[in-house]
Structure 1
């Protein structure tokens, strides 16, 4: 018996009209979900890139929120509906994000739960490298966040262009 995956999602700009579906995914995905106001704020920033992945039926399968701060792009939220995970939707959204940020040598950063090995593996496969820790970053349980970067140096396999970088994924503990 062969299992067929749904068709690859369409990646497009996230809109205010998408927010009810986004909030529903957010609440199913996180112990401390973003509020509606947080999404509205991010969508209102002209320098941000907010993307939606939609299925053939037009339903939101995932979303990515990325804001620009000075010369760095901060990926603030990447989420896929629990019933659509493991379909490479997050990979497609992030790959599309990198293409949409049309500038030479862009620098991206994000935080990820230290225990979220699946997400760490995804980000590593896309050229991110761990470069530090934010101790007790997550409010729900006090878990540390791994700070990850995707820069010209990380794409070459080093942390040379990230000041004070220490790879927490290679440290003991």
Structure 2
């Protein structure tokens, strides 16, 4: 539970319209309807969403990871532009890591645009470290991607980190405009 007002849940085919709308708003159509349908149908994909306390259909943010062997490969973290800076990104990253840990995965990895300082800062709050660079990774402009890595999800100390991060997320959300209306 992140807060008494926000609803975090695994996304389902019933949410496809909201998923596509958020994708279009955040990424200009990164994935297609068929792409998201494959994610929802895949046993190796976890797609989580945060819904508004004021509307059961307004998807404020979503995150996705693929299970590849013992790794959670985070593919999407998206927060509606009107709700950025209010802790929803932190809530999504925390929830993805908690889910990965609960699934007994050993580590998490992702790619992020080298210029996306806001996202890099978010991931660093969760102790992701830069492990490498993919040159020309993004097709729209040829920008490099940084490869970020977080290991030891099954180490006993990771549970302490999850508790600390949960407190951080809840404190941020309690101060945010999203849940204080």
TM over 0.5: yes
Aligned to 2:96: 97
Cα deviation code 1:122-173 (max 9, x no counterpart): 00101111110111010100000000011129x99xxxxxxxxxxxxxxxxx
Q: 2:14 aligns to what SS in structure 1?
A: helix
Query: What TM-score do you get using the length of structure 2 for normalisation?
Result: 0.76
Q: How does 1:4-15 map to 2 (within 5 A)?
A: 9-15=6-12
Aligned to 2:140: 140
Match of 1:55 among 52, 56, 64: 52
- What displacement does 1:31 show? 4.5
Query: What TM-score do you get using the length of structure 1 for normalisation?
Result: 0.79
Unaligned runs of 5+ in 2: 158-181
Runs of 4+ in 1 over 4 A off after TM superposition: none
Cα deviation code 1:30-58 (max 9, x no counterpart): 24521111111111111321101011122
Q: Quote the Cα distance in structure 1 between the aligned partners of 2:98 and 2:86.
A: 20
Q: Quote the Cα distance in structure 2 between the aligned partners of 1:31 and 1:105.
A: 31
Q: 1:115 aligns to what SS in structure 2?
A: coil
| Cα distance change on mapping 1:112 and 1:43 into 2, 3 Å | same
Pick 1 or 2: higher relative contact order, CA cutoff 8 A, min separation 6. 2
Q: 2:21 aligns to what SS in structure 1?
A: helix
Structure with the higher fraction of residues in helix conformation: 2
| Cα distance change on mapping 1:13 and 1:104 into 2, 3 Å | closer
